[in-house]
A = this chain, B = another copy of it.
């Protein structure tokens, strides 16, 4: 299979199963034609997965290291068998197969971060060099493989890894916002945390000085910070689970007009109706919150007879990593916010 875009040929013993679902991957060398080989420096393990491992074996670094090695030896990938989740990795490009699209774009030696989950990335650990329990990180010597469809970002040299990773973690959000915001719109961001701040900054650019930008959050302090940094026009302190309260606050702030676009970046569940009710007829909602319920959104919009376009926030939009890093460079206030709060 020379055109194995999804890494199906790396799955052991289960035909027609994608690597993410597979019980076991084959991470053996050599690197194949349509693959990218990485010399791995460190694994950033998903928070839920790292916690499960700590709960299981205790906080001692040697025991965590042993458990991580055991999982990767058994599965050929760092996918926690209990939580199902992975994480991402940092490393240097070692080899680029002639049929991999990074050919020409990346050079051996370039430092990259993977933007697809470790739960689908073939991995071999030769040695664990250090475990950093406070930041869910494991430094290793070993190799990993990216398929044609496996997303990555070249790590910038003008900012620390930690800053770049914090932004890359949610880079799909501002990139999708850039596709939907037009000058003159009234745009609201519900949940003004890490991804919310990036969405506000991106929306601000795409509004080009026309339109209105609302930030909604339960935390007065988060809102004050954003307002202080000039990332929004209006702040509304609301509980996003209280749909009618949110609608009334948005209605007052927009003279009854409501929003053209609501971007849901809340970290809690049960916020679908607040988003739907805050949009004017013919408007749109982008749901990024992973706590979004499909049926609550679909049945909710129908129940209130709202003509609203509802989008599932896709974590991938072409160019999303570059767009997000550029945003940090172009907006010093945003960069400072990330440095103080999310690094």
**Interface positions of A (Cβ within 8 A of B):** 6, 8, 16-18, 20, 115-117, 120, 149-151, 172, 242-245, 273, 277, 287, 290, 292-295, 297-299, 301-318
Contacts and interface: CB of A to CB of B under 8 A. Distances in A.
Given A290-B298, A312-B298, A312-B311, A305 B151 contact: yes
Contacts of A299: 117, 315
Given A273-B18, A294-B292, A306 B312 contact: no
Contacts of A297: 294, 312
Query: How many copies of this chain sit in the oligomeric assembly?
Result: 2
A294 to B, nearest CB: 5
A87 to B, nearest CB: 13
B301 A294 contact: no
A208 to B, nearest CB: 23
- Most B Cβ at <10 Å: residue of A16, A116, A314, A318: A314
A151 B303 CA distance: 8
- Most B Cβ at <10 Å: residue of A244, A273, A290, A306: A244
A307 B316 contact: yes
B304 A314 contact: no
A82 B30 CA distance: 58
B308 A311 contact: no
Given A292-B294, A298-B313, A311-B310, A304 B6 contact: yes
Given A290-B298, A294-B294, A117 B311 contact: no
Contacts of A307: 314, 316-318
